[in-house]
Amino acid sequence: YRKGLGMEDKTILVIEDDPLNMELVKAVLSIDNYHVIEASDAHAGIELCRRHKPDLVLMDIQLPDMDGLTATRIIKEDELLKDVAVVALSAYAMEEDVQEAFNAGCSGYITKPFKIVDFLEQIKKYIELLKTQDADNYNKSRTWLDDHRFYLNKEECSIVNKEIGRIE
Ligand code: MN
């Protein structure tokens, strides 16, 4: 894995209600030194989004107070936030789920559990693309979606913490 460099100034807001998933995502993002802010429900997440204008939002789909796609729509309909990129995090990746996420305004879709290296590559790609202002066009292309959607099994989730220590 080639580490992302110069990411310290990139802020990622993680909206995730599962404490273990939150810890995992934070640990993985720390490999590339992103600045991470966190919220455990949609309302707190939208509030932090308004306050910090993050470079990227990682949005869990199932949240206690509101589903993540509704929260994404709220962000995308807000004149001040509509340019903030939202990437859905979900345990489900049926074709219609992915389409629904894109319809709600998500720029991407990451399935849980994920492979650490794939996850970091994907995040890095979003951040790089955001720099070029071309993320939306790129992400909406069918080819990209086919290349980057990955299906993973549950066993991989249980070994994920051990993997973190092995990444160079
Ligand atoms: Mn959840």
**6 vs 9, higher pLDDT:** 9
Query: How much distance in Å is there from the Cα of 90 to the middle of ligand 1?
Result: 8
12-71: per-residue pLDDT in tens? 999 999 998 899 999 999 989 999 999 999 999 999 999 999 999 999 999 999 999 999
80-89: per-residue pLDDT in tens? 998 898 999 9
Residue 156: pLDDT over 60: no
Query: How much distance in Å is there from the Cα of 47 to the middle of ligand 1?
Result: 18
In the chain, which residue ranges form alpha helices assigned H by DSSP?
19-31, 42-52, 68-77, 95-104, 116-132, 135-139, 142-148, 154-158, 160-166
Residue 139: pLDDT over 50: no
* C-alpha 92: how far from chain center: 14
**157 vs 11, higher pLDDT:** 11
Query: How much distance in Å is there from the Cα of 129 to the middle of ligand 1?
Result: 27
Query: How much distance in Å is there from the Cα of 139 to the middle of ligand 1?
Result: 24
Query: How much distance in Å is there from the Cα of 132 to the middle of ligand 1?
Result: 31
Query: How much distance in Å is there from the Cα of 6 to the middle of ligand 1?
Result: 30
91-134: per-residue pLDDT in tens? 877 778 888 998 999 888 888 888 888 888 888 888 877 666 55
Return mean pLDDT, the chain.
79
Query: How much distance in Å is there from the Cα of 84 to the middle of ligand 1?
Result: 21
Q: Cα(62)–Cα(84) distance, rounded to whole angstroms?
A: 20
pLDDT of residue 4: 67
Query: How much distance in Å is there from the Cα of 123 to the middle of ligand 1?
Result: 19
Residue 77, CB-side half-sphere exposure with 13 Å CA sphere: 8
